[in-house]
Amino acid sequence: MDLSIGEVAQRSGLSVHALRFYEREGLFANPVRRLSNGRRIYHEEDVEWLAVCTKLRSSGMSVAMIRQYIELVRQGPGNELDRLELLRRHEAVVEAQIRELREALGVMRHKVRIYEDHVERGEADRLWNPSRTDATAPDCAPQEATAPDCAPQDATAADCAPPGPRTAGRA
């Protein structure tokens, strides 16, 4: 079944502009066909490939790497190990990104719990504030700069007044 660029845009979630960009960059598995009047014609396999291609892009794969992959695919059988290696390299990058994001999420969840606890207890003013003077600082000095907790208020080092002079950018 022939599909217009508008239909492909609707089905793929990509804009018409993005589809034209993908074509210019050589990112379609098959060349985009045109009618005698120049109108682009797509097929179902183009929509299926775009679903894969957009996942590769959203996972951080560069246009150049997608182009390299699709060029290998176009060459046909015989280079499957090259394709596999390319995909494995990107898989490792994505796994590293996921690990980083999980670590960041863990920090954010911890900070949310601290703030929720302080707000619930009516002690939000005890959270670290860079504009406070040492005289108004909470009794919260962690043993280590990286200590996840800060007795007795259960705040992170970045939430508590650090010992000694205050430095900006820790909240």
Phi, psi at 3, each rounded to 5°: -125, 140
The single-letter DSSP state of residue 25 is T
pTM for this one?
A: 0.67
Closest CA to 49 of 12, 7, 2, 88: 12
Nearest-angstrom CA–CA distance, 38 and 31: 14
Say what angle helices 16-24 and 44-58 make with each other, to 10 degrees. Answer: 90
Q: How many CA atoms lie within 13 A of 17 on its CB side?
A: 0
Residue ranges with strand state E in the chain: 33-34, 40-41
Nearest-angstrom CA–CA distance, 19 and 27: 9
The residues, any chain, with a CB within 8 Å of residue 53's CB and separated by 6 or more, are 22, 27, 66
pLDDT per residue as tens digits for the range 99-126: 999 999 999 999 999 999 999 999 888 8
pLDDT per residue as tens digits for the range 129-170: 777 665 554 544 343 334 344 434 444 445 543 333 434 444
Instruction: Pull the structure tokens for residue 85.
Output: 């290696």
Nearest-angstrom CA–CA distance, 27 and 36: 23
| SS3 state of residue 147 | coil
**Cβ count within 10 A of residue 153:** 18
pLDDT per residue as tens digits for the range 37-58: 999 999 999 999 999 999 999 9
Residue type (1 letter), 5: I
